[in-house]
Amino acid sequence: AAGFNERKGQVLALLAREGDWVSCREVAEAFGISQSNAGVLLHGYSGDGLTRRRKVSPPVGRFYYEFKIGESGRKKLIWLLGRNLAQAPLPGFEGEEVGRPKVLKPRLLKPRVVKRVVRPKILREER
């Protein structure tokens, strides 16, 4: 339980930093998941326009992503925290239902098939 409270504190600290960049390393630590999972997770939520992402390449070691968490991103993190830790309610969020975040799917544009080329009237009469 001690680890749980520690992690809860970490997540709350992450959520308090609105408008700040949060690295997926921190999120991974706070949620007790792998760094790549945290990256995928946050990246999945960056399509809402409120969570922005940037790549950080340190001189040594692997690159990682940082995320700027907007209002909806924070709700999602709270939702995840509830699912991941599912023990104690977060202070300040009692009774606030946070639903599953919507991840926008890219819309596929259907190629338009030109069935028959209609020539302009002037050209038709010339023939």
Q: b vs e for 41-78, b when ≥16 Cβ sit within 10 Å of the residue's Cβ?
A: bbeebbebebbebeeeeeeeeeebbbbbbbebbbbbbb
Task: State the alpha helices, DSSP H only, in 17-120.
Answer: 24-31, 35-44, 71-85
In this prediction, residue 17 carries a pLDDT of 62
Question: Is domain 1-127 annotated with CATH 1.20.120?
Answer: no
Q: Are 66 and 53 in contact (CB under 8 A)?
A: yes
Domain ranges of the chain: 1-127
The most confident of 10-24, 40-54, 74-88, 101-115, by mean pLDDT: 10-24
Average pLDDT, the chain: 66
Over range 24-35, report the average pLDDT: 75
Rounded average pLDDT over 10-28? 71
**pLDDT score recorded for residue 68:** 75
Which pLDDT score is estimated for 1? 47
Dihedral, 110, 111, 117, 122 alpha carbons, nearest 10: 80
Q: Is the pLDDT of residue 59 over 80?
A: yes
Q: Look at residue 19 and tell me whether its pLDDT is greater than 80.
A: no
DSSP tag of 51: S
Mean pLDDT of 119-125: 67
Average pLDDT over residues 97-102: 50
Say yes or no to pLDDT of 50 above 60: no
Phi-psi category of residue 56: left, alpha or beta, with phi > 0 → left and psi -120 to 50 → alpha: beta
